[in-house]
Amino acid sequence: MRNTREILRLKYEAGLSHRMIARAVGVANSTVSDVSARMKAAGLVWQDAATLSDVELQRRLYRDHQKRAADPREPDWNRVRAELAGNKHVTLQLLWAEYREEEPDGYGYSWYCERYRAWQGGLDLVMRQEHRYGERLFVDWAGDTMSVVTPGTGEIRQAYLFVAVFGASNYLYAEASLSCGTHVFLSAHCRAFSYFGGVPELVVCDNLKTGVRKPDRYEPDLHAPYAELAAHYGCAVFPARVRKPRDKAKVENGVLVSCRMIMAPLRKRVFFSLAELNEAIRTLVDAINERPFQKLPGSRRSEFLEHELPKLSPLPAEPFTYRTRKDARVHIDYHVELEGHFYSVPHHLVRERVEILFDESTVEVLHHGERVALHPRSRAKGRSSTTMEHMPEKHRAHAEWTPERITAWAASTGPATAALTKAIMSARPHPALGFRSCLGLLRLTESYGAKRVEAASERALAFGACSYKSVKSILENRLDEAGLDTRPADNGPMHDNVRGPDYYA
């Protein structure tokens, strides 16, 4: 009662503000407001209260006050709290107006507000904070760890506990992992959203390095994967201020609950796998969520199902997939390398710095934050994945040539020309090695015309001289104008280095 009497003295004798009283006595502002409200509700003035003993003052401020709570005109403060948490546009003034419609002889607005704050001050610290349903999910890592024993070797590995708790309903989720890396941190978010069956508006986190690249009081800079996860689920990440634990008091209490009600009960059990540990954790988490509140009706689960879950956004069709990032420089052949495989990018980005995002199935290349290439993931080392649109025009034209296309183009000159291109390509170890000879053959039509090239090709086939040089020699010496009946009987096979008798004609 010493603090209570001092609060009353400073308020009614010294005339100090609630904030100054709280600072002088060393209590919270809400405590000063509560004592002041109880003083008014008891109908006391300071001159009379100062003469009362501590026992009598306590009885008048608290015992009599509790008796009046049974007044039939007393509002249902649990319902009032639920209304305030369920809709951000609902105010105490609106609820008081609705209360007066039901109770015309009810209490005034000032008394209504003071009584609600007094009732609210009697709740646990966790419940005193005002949070709107579906708005904030608080996440953090517990400071302590749990042990997992590796079968066979007996190696003891430390498992870290990830905790997520809703601001309004205190609905809890926890899981263990063997690291605190970015991939594990983001995957834990995905599993938490799946456990809740929905997504909140805000995710409040600490300024941990796996999530926040650069802490700042006003504009914190998130790591790109964390921002991508938030965009995928349609929520926002709101890092708490540095060294401001009250910004995330919910999760701090959730971590405390997890340590006391999960880690402590499991401290003597030996786990031989992470899955076994998480199964035990899930059982205890369900028990925590089912446990009745001490000063409120219901439990975390009933509060969540009734009020929180309907306010959550639906889960996306596919969960977020974490992609690894890698910086790279575009090679002179307009490809970037990833684990021994080469992926093309637009040719104008040669020697530029780009960012590669990849997972098990896709490879995405970004330049200044914009996607410039997307390829299926390939494990073939030393091979390349090339998109035609990424190639320069000259390279593209060359890459578009195939044996079928060359033969089709040659057929426009004539059947003999088409047959000759087929013979040229089939005589090489690989058809591509004959492409240049065929292209040179077809270009002869520009100088000699399609008719003469067709005749020269027919003659070359007849003599077995299946090469670009043979056709060019025939055209230059106008042998295409001579009939095929002038061909000698059989002088053996012809090849590029044998001129033949026609050369001396």
Domain ranges of the chain: 2-126, 136-311, 324-393, 401-504
* pLDDT at residue 61 greater than cutoff 50: yes
**Residue partners of 92: CB distance under 8 A and separation at least 6:** 80, 84, 112, 113, 116
Burial-class residue 353 by CB neighbours within 10 Å (0-12, 13-18, 19+).
Answer: exposed
The values of phi and psi at residue 410, to 5°, are -65, -30
Distance of CA 316 to the CA centre of its chain: 12
Q: Report the alpha-carbon distance of residue 48 to residue 60 in Å, rounded.
A: 11
* pLDDT at residue 64 greater than cutoff 50: no
CB 363 within 8 A of CB 341: no
> In sequence order, what E strands does 133-276 have?
136-149, 156-166, 172-177, 202-205, 212-214, 221-222, 236-239
Edge-to-edge strand order for the sheet containing 335-338? 335-338, 341-344, 384-385
Tokens 């966790």 map to which residue?
A: 126
pLDDT, one tens digit per residue, over 73-98 is 778 887 887 777 766 667 888 888 88
Residue 302 has what pLDDT? 93
- Kindly indicate the confidence band of residue 147, based on its pLDDT and cuts at 50, 70 and 90: very high
Q: Report the alpha-carbon distance of residue 140 to residue 210 in Å, rounded.
A: 11
Each residue of 54-70: b (16+ CB within 10 Å) or e? eeebeebbeeebeeeee
Q: Report the alpha-carbon distance of residue 126 to residue 269 in Å, rounded.
A: 30
CA dihedral 370, 374, 379, 382 (to 10 degrees): -80
The values of phi and psi at residue 466, to 5°, are -90, 75
* Percentage above 90 pLDDT, the chain: 27
pLDDT, one tens digit per residue, over 325-373 is 889 999 888 899 998 899 999 989 988 999 998 887 889 999 988 999 9
Q: Report the alpha-carbon distance of residue 12 to residue 10 in Å, rounded.
A: 6
The torsion region of residue 100 among left (phi > 0), alpha (psi -120 to 50) and beta comes to alpha
Burial-class residue 328 by CB neighbours within 10 Å (0-12, 13-18, 19+).
Answer: middle
- Kindly indicate the confidence band of residue 217, based on its pLDDT and cuts at 50, 70 and 90: low
Each residue of 114-141: b (16+ CB within 10 Å) or e? bbbbbbbbebeebbebebbbbbbbbbbb
Q: Report the alpha-carbon distance of residue 171 to residue 164 in Å, rounded.
A: 8
Residue 218 has what pLDDT? 63
Higher pLDDT, 297 or 460: 460
How many beta carbons lie within 10 A of that of residue 235, not counting itself?
19
Distance of CA 419 to the CA centre of its chain: 58
CA distances from 289 to 195, 258, 285, 311 (A): 13, 11, 6, 19
**pTM strictly above 0.75:** no
Element housing 55 (H / E): helix 54-58
Residue 463 has what pLDDT? 87
Mean pLDDT (whole number) for 308-328 = 89
Please tell me the total number of residues recorded for the chain in this structure: 505
* pLDDT at residue 124 greater than cutoff 70: no
- Kindly indicate the confidence band of residue 429, based on its pLDDT and cuts at 50, 70 and 90: low
Residue 126 has what pLDDT? 42
* pLDDT at residue 185 greater than cutoff 60: yes
- Token reading at 456: 């020269």
Residue 66 has what pLDDT? 46
- CATH number of this structure's domain 136-311: 3.30.420.10
Burial-class residue 156 by CB neighbours within 10 Å (0-12, 13-18, 19+).
Answer: exposed
Judging by DSSP bridges, how do beta strands 341-344 and 384-385 pair with one another? parallel
Mean pLDDT (whole number) for 211-240 = 82
* 221-235, 289-303, 330-344, 477-491: least confidently modelled range: 477-491
* pLDDT at residue 494 greater than cutoff 90: no
Residue 69 has what pLDDT? 46
Q: Report the alpha-carbon distance of residue 164 to residue 160 in Å, rounded.
A: 13
Nearest to 463 by CA among 484, 439, 483: 484
Tokens 């994945």 map to which residue?
A: 385
Amino acid at 422: K
- Kindly indicate the confidence band of residue 251, based on its pLDDT and cuts at 50, 70 and 90: low
- Token reading at 153: 């070797």
Residue 504 has what pLDDT? 45
pLDDT, one tens digit per residue, over 11-36 is 888 788 888 888 888 888 888 888 88
CA dihedral 368, 369, 373, 378 (to 10 degrees): 110
Q: Report the alpha-carbon distance of residue 130 to residue 90 in Å, rounded.
A: 13
Return the sign of the alpha-carbon dihedral for residues 141, 146, 150, 151.
negative
Amino acid at 465: A
Q: Tell me which DSSP letter residue 307 carries.
A: I
- Token reading at 329: 């420089």
CB 328 within 8 A of CB 354: yes
Q: Report the alpha-carbon distance of residue 28 to residue 22 in Å, rounded.
A: 6
Residue 488 has what pLDDT? 47
Residue 314 has what pLDDT? 94
